Amino acid sequence: MEDKIALLHDMVAQSDNIVFFGGAGVSTESGIPDFRSVDGLYNQKWKYPPETILSRSFFDRNPEEYYRFHREKLVIDDVKPNRVHLRLAELEREGKLRAVITQNIDGLHQAAGSKNVLELHGSILRAYCSRCRKPYPADVINKGTGVPRCDCGGVIRPDIVLYEEQLDEVVLRKSIDYIRNADVLIVGGTSLAVYPAAGLLNYYRGSKLVLINRSATPYDDQANLIIHEKIGEVFAQV
Q: What is the CATH number of the domain that holds 45?
A: 3.30.1600.10
Same domain, 91 and 26: yes
Confidence of residue 102 (pLDDT cuts 50, 70, 90): very high
Same domain, 129 and 24: no
- Which range of residues forms the domain containing residue 102? 2-32+81-121+167-235
Cis peptide before 196 (omega within 30 of 0): yes
* Cα-based angle 128, 50, 154 (whole degrees, multiple of 5): 25
Same domain, 179 and 227: yes
pLDDT at 42: 64
Same domain, 136 and 226: no
Per residue in 152-161, pLDDT tens? Answer: 999 999 999 9
Query: Which segment of 21-30, 36-45, 168-177 scores lowest on mean pLDDT?
Result: 36-45
Which of 160, 186, 219 lies at the terminal end of a domain, its last residue?
160
The answer to whether the predicted template modeling score (pTM) of the entire model surpasses 0.75 is: yes
pLDDT at 111: 97
Same domain, 213 and 176: yes
Same domain, 143 and 46: yes
Which of 133, 160, 187 lies at the terminal end of a domain, its last residue?
160
Residue 41 has pLDDT above 60, yes or no: no
* Cα-based angle 169, 172, 176 (whole degrees, multiple of 5): 140
Residues labelled catalytic:
121
Same domain, 70 and 112: no
Same domain, 100 and 71: no
Same domain, 172 and 214: yes
Per residue in 60-91, pLDDT tens? Answer: 999 999 999 999 989 888 899 999 999 999 99
